[in-house]
Chains A and B, each alone.
Chain A
Amino acid sequence: MPPLIFSLQLAFTLAVCAFLIVPVVLSVLAGLTVNYFVGLESGLTLKWVIEVWNGYRDTLFRSVGIALACLALTLVLGVPAAYALARAKSRLGRAFEELLMLPVAVPGLATALALIASYGALSGFRTSWAFILVGHALFTLPFMLRAVLAVLSAIDLKTLEEGAASLGAGPWQRFVHIVLPNCRDGILAGSLMVLTLSMGEFNLTWLLHTPLTKTLPVGLADAYASLRLEVGSAYTLLFFLMIVPLLLAMQALARPRRRRFIPADDTDLAPLALKP
């Protein structure tokens, strides 16, 4: 490749990277700077991070809690639903699948308003974090379902199950031994989506939360709107520290198992060892 073209490509790539990364770096730096308007020469500090930790720690734990609860809920609801849809290849099943995608298409605000209109009168429920959880589960369920369904549709589930049944396995054994292990990759991919979506969800949560059930993104909006820029940025930094290891872990788990390639052909198939 001519060096000029290579240099241009490299420059372009670096420019795009910079465009994406510089704001992140600036935001992180802002959270660590004594006075952002003065600049870095004002010195670096953990003051803002500690302030956020002391003031907003509960939102952080609440977000993690809701995300994990949401994951549990979507696993319990989504995996069996995907299994049922994969087995029922009927038109009704297809229609139902489309219906389940609705919460993604409908704006979060509309879903939230519908939830408030329906259940807002149940004050115990309205003021608990479970109310937010319901919204998150509605919004993330399609992602779990789609991820699992895609994997299940790619394997010949019916025949595999018939094979297991022919060996004596009942419905529950087939589900645990055959269905679940073979949709492992879909479940992991779906879990990754659900955790990150729930963790970062703002639209729905903004309407569903109460002052006592703020989640991290809601708290973040709060901090940016009413406090110093440095505090908001420190808040972002904490969010980062929490979500990046999670993303990396999930990504590592979701990586397809690489198997050593072993060439196999039938030229060396030995004759059966039959007893005379």
Chain B
Amino acid sequence: MNPVPLAIRLEGCARTFADGTRALEPLDLDIRAGETLVLLGPSGCGKTTTLRLIAGLERPDAGGRVLFDGEDVTARGIEARHVGMVFQSYALFPNMTVAENIGYGLRIRKLPIREQRARVGEMLAMMRLEALADRAVDQLSGGQRQRVALARALAVRPRALLLDEPLTALDAQLRDTLRMEINLLLRGLGITAIYVTHDQAEAMALGDRIVVMAHGRVAQVGTPRDIYHRPASAFVADFIGTMNRVRGSETADGFACAGGRLRLPPTGRGAAAVMFRPEDVRIAADDETADLAGTVTASFYLGDRTRLFVDIGDECPLTVESSARCTFRPGQAIRLNVQPDGLLVL
């Protein structure tokens, strides 16, 4: 029933705009059939350009190649690539109803009318839009529009689905719900999906693999777990989640720094800085054996937890999280333990 998912390969794909701006440095990327690959990065990092290269909305600079299942499609425009695309603004046609929007790709492909109707009905049912079939698109809410855009892209049964920040235009609560739905949908269809976002939580939740991009280059490719726990660079470490950085020097029995000593397993490289995430820090009950000593500078109650800034005498204060029930005052002395397996040296 579902089409065979597509394997996509980019070879040496760079993109320079007419004004000389380099949007993308030469990029090699393998996208496996059926996986959900998330392109993640700050604005201007080249993630949307990469998506548009795959879609066929942009052409790579000379020498770059786009391969679909090993076949070179570089010269083909988007209309000949048979990929589904969901745009950030949805790009729904204002002159058509919901059903006409969803059926547009089928109409272009000249499917028999009966088949077109059946498929549109199927998509409307799946997206729970049956009651809205004859509405104009300007009579829809944001979430409904998003669904129509998805349904329209999927109605032609593409072998790959490209999504350009599809949730950015929605409010936060709806975003969470729809993110989960899209995840289930993509997995249920088994389709190759390429998803562009600047939201790391979205990337973590959706991606089989994440490509973190910065300044037109790939900073790291890996599973969400890899990216979070084994960031390849300081940029990735800082971009994904919160990261503490402590300067000091590696010694025979750990890592000496302002405020104490971290139990760093020997690296053999003479580390000058270590990093760790807030969740790997525990507030120590026993003052004598704690790794670090410091002073609380600020405390933010977040409902499910309390976020503390702790000054240990280094340049930047540490970010630490504690259970919401503990209260801390600025100026209060605090002792911390950092899990040794949470320590990162780059």
Q: Which residues of A contact B (CB under 8 A)?
A: 155-156, 159-160, 162-170, 173, 177-178, 181-182, 184, 259-262, 264-266, 269-275
Contact = CB atoms under 8 A, between A and B. Distances in A.
Interface in B42-56: 55
Contacts of B128: 269-273
Interface stretch (B33-41, B139-147, B237-245, B280-288): B139-147
Interface stretch (B82-90, B269-277, B290-298, B335-343): B82-90
B282 to A, nearest CB: 39
Nearest to B126: A273
Given A162-B78, A275-B188, A167 B144 contact: no
A184 B94 CA distance: 12
A26 B289 CA distance: 107
B156 A259 contact: no
A159 B85 contact: no
Interface string B138-162: 1111111001000011001000000
Interface string B102-121: 00110011000000000000
Given A162-B78, A163-B91, A168 B108 contact: yes
Please list the 7 inter-chain residue pairs (A to B) with the smallest Cβ-Cβ separation, ordered nearest first.
A163-B91, A167-B105, A181-B95, A266-B143, A264-B141, A166-B85, A270-B128
Interface residues of B, number: 47
Interface string B202-222: 000000000000000000000
Interface of B: 55, 57, 77-80, 82-85, 87, 89-95, 104-105, 108-109, 125-128, 135-136, 138-144, 147, 152-153, 156, 170-171, 174, 177, 181, 184-185, 188
B91 A162 contact: yes
A272 B108 contact: no
A177 B87 contact: no
Given A163-B91, A163-B93, A272-B184, A265 B141 contact: yes
B185 A274 contact: yes
B51 to A, nearest CB: 11
A172 to B, nearest CB: 11
A159 B84 CA distance: 14
B179 to A, nearest CB: 12
A164 B126 contact: no
A163 B143 contact: no
A262 B108 contact: no
Contact of A165 (B79, B141, B143): B79
A83 B195 CA distance: 31
Given A259-B138, A274-B126, A274-B184, A167 B91 contact: no
Interface of A is mostly: loop
Contact of B55 (A166, A261, A262, A266): A166
Nearest to A162: B57
Contacts of B143: 266, 269
Nearest to A269: B143
A87 B174 CA distance: 34
Contacts of B144: 264, 266, 269
A162 B164 CA distance: 13
5 contacts: A178-B95, A181-B95, A184-B95, A260-B139, A266-B143
Contacts of A274: 126, 184-185, 188
Given A166-B84, A262-B135, A274-B126, A160 B108 contact: no
Contact of A166 (B78, B141, B184, B188): B78
Contact of A259 (B82, B139, B142): B139
Contact of A266 (B79, B84, B87, B174): B174
Given A166-B78, A261-B139, A272-B185, 7 more contacts: A163-B85, A164-B93, A165-B77, A169-B104, A182-B95, A264-B139, A274-B185
Given A159-B89, A164-B104, A173-B108, A272 B57 contact: no
Given A166-B84, A274-B188, A160 B135 contact: no
A156 B174 CA distance: 25
B108 A169 contact: yes
